[in-house]
A and B are shown apart, each in its own frame.
Chain A
Amino acid sequence: MSTASSVQTAPATAPAVSLQGVTKRFDQVTAVQSLTLTVQPGELYGVIGPDGAGKTTLFRTVVTLLAPDEGTTTVLGLDTVRDYRALRNRLGYMPGRFALYPDLSVRENLSFYATVFGTTVADGMRIIEPIWRQLSEFSDRRAGALSGGMKQKLALCCALVHAPDLLVLDEPTTGVDAVSRVEFWELLGRLRDGGLTIMVSTPYMDEAARCDRVALMQGGRVLRVDTPAALAQSYPLPLFALRSGGERLHLLRTLREFPHAASVWPFGEDLHYTDRRAGLSPSVVLSEASAWLAQHGFSDVQMRPIVASVEDVFMQLATAVPQAA
């Protein structure tokens, strides 16, 4: 199957990552269940889901740190269990927890990782230069004394210094403020534009738009894989945004009592309303829901049909399938 020689003869379109029916259990807990997914070379592939969805188990399987109980994982044409030694040199992995040496300086951490992978900082600079530029003024600071955003950038440099063929980032933006998150995604976009294949996980649904394709995960399973645009189009029921001058919680609870309501959730300033009647024209839903709200004292409601966000899609899928305990 996937020996080193078959890698060289593999067609250019061979997937960078391929999971076939991967299951991993810890005691009685099934962390991931029959996962099947493929990542194409050059893709920025997002894995999106809350804590406990199985993202970290999935990623640790891909980077050869966990062997699946069932199924196979092939990365860059190599089997993650049998060929783990050959594979490790070709992977860059940034774990969810800050895993650098806090009492080494920024520069010392980078040199250490370069040495471990048998390369030098000078050689790696070709890849990491755009990120290093934002870090170099702190190069003598202890890594433990960096801000959250700077720690992320250093960890990214250390994961990239040996020019890997696949970059795997486990929740790089969790706990990072909105501004640093935007900057970090801009960096990932530039790396992808340079041809690097990237797998990245996040609990932030709004980050899905930055990916070429995303897998939505919950309870150890993949709910759906698609491009962000196709996900938005896949929403199966009539969806609306609404607001009123009245008390928001009251509006939300009133609308939930509407007999045709599938769900009502706050989304920033608005509420999002999903009607359970698939295929019904928006204007009919609008007039019926408005009439119901007016009857209950909300006469100033502004309501309009909207295209679903990834978060709408996730919530709809998560409630449509039974959740694993």
Chain B
Amino acid sequence: MRTPNAPVAIDARELTRRFGTFTAVNAITFSVQRGEVFGFLGANGAGKTTAMRMLIGLLAPTSGSATVAGLDVERDSEGVRRRIGYMSQRFSLYDDLTVQENIRLFGGLYGLDDHTIRERGDALIERIGLHHARRNLVRRLPLGWRQQLAFSVALLHEPQVLFLDEPTGGVDPITRRQFWELIYDTANTGTTVLVTTHYLDEAEYCDRLTIMVDGAIAAAGSPGAVKSEFGASSLDEVFLRLTRPQVTA
């Protein structure tokens, strides 16, 4: 939930990235408060992935700056990566490792000690009801469970900010909604969540959002504010108008 004067979890100032003559991300400025669920929207090629790669410390900005969980993404990318979690639909867990092996691997990568890994791992397995399947290969789990596990593993090191890159693609409509309840519960504990999605109905579930067009932020605010700014009845309509103005003009 968004509350006034909450500490800032993500703060991007004129954040820019060029590849040769192409400007993928063009001076974007936005901030996300602690505990917010923040939607990061845009068409394919609008610059979302590049922006996200800068925020998680994988790609240096060409100019501008950003802090995540209080650390500068360029000067302290190591520190940023320790304070964030990341999950995407495409890659999150190793399919050919078991549930327990994945937990041990990621716990180790996050620098947790064996005792902590075992303690948090057991709690995690209990919480999502996977005790009977803890020695199964992840590939054998139904998609909904795989996704819950990936989400929980991304939170294993108790990150301050969680980045979710299209976490619900291809998932059935019930599992998709259950996943959003998980997101809400996580945000209610004070974890900040930045999420990308192609489902615009999910964008309505965010506290605030930005829509990127050609590398820049073309709309920003709460779902309600964005809709009323554009006089639109749905975010779908806002999205279409921003990204395909020639048709709706």
Contact = CB atoms under 8 A, between A and B. Distances in A.
Given A50-B175, A51-B143, A269-B204, A179 B244 contact: yes
Contact of A50 (B143, B201, B205, B234): B143
Contacts, number: 87
Given A147-B45, A267-B201, A268-B234, A178 B240 contact: yes
B1 A50 contact: no
B200 to A, nearest CB: 6
Q: Which of B1, B46, B188, B198 gathers most chain A CB within 10 Å? A: B198
Contacts of A149: 44
A177 B42 contact: yes
Given A51-B143, A52-B142, A179 B240 contact: yes
B76 interface: no
Interface stretch (A153-161, A281-289, A312-320): A312-320
A318 B175 CA distance: 11
A52 B199 CA distance: 19
Interface in B191-249: 198-201, 204-205, 223, 234-236, 239-240, 243-244
Contacts of B223: 269
Nearest to B175: A50
A174 B43 contact: no
A325 interface: yes
A182 B166 CA distance: 19
Interface residues of A, number: 36
Given A50-B143, A182-B240, A325-B142, A176 B173 contact: no
A212 to B, nearest CB: 22
Contacts of B169: 174-175, 203
Given A147-B45, A205-B173, A266-B180, A177 B204 contact: no
A84 interface: no
Nearest to B224: A269
Given A50-B143, A51-B143, A179 B173 contact: no
Nearest to A253: B181
Nearest to A218: B172
A148 interface: yes
A239 to B, nearest CB: 15
B200 A178 contact: yes
15 contacts: A50-B170, A50-B172, A174-B170, A175-B198, A176-B44, A178-B200, A178-B239, A179-B43, A179-B244, A180-B44, A205-B173, A249-B184, A266-B180, A269-B204, A319-B174
Interface of A: 49-53, 147-149, 174-180, 182-183, 203-205, 218, 247-249, 252, 265-269, 311, 314-315, 318-319, 325
Task: Give 6 closest A-B pairs by Cβ, nearest first.
Answer: A50-B172, A268-B201, A51-B170, A177-B43, A268-B204, A148-B44
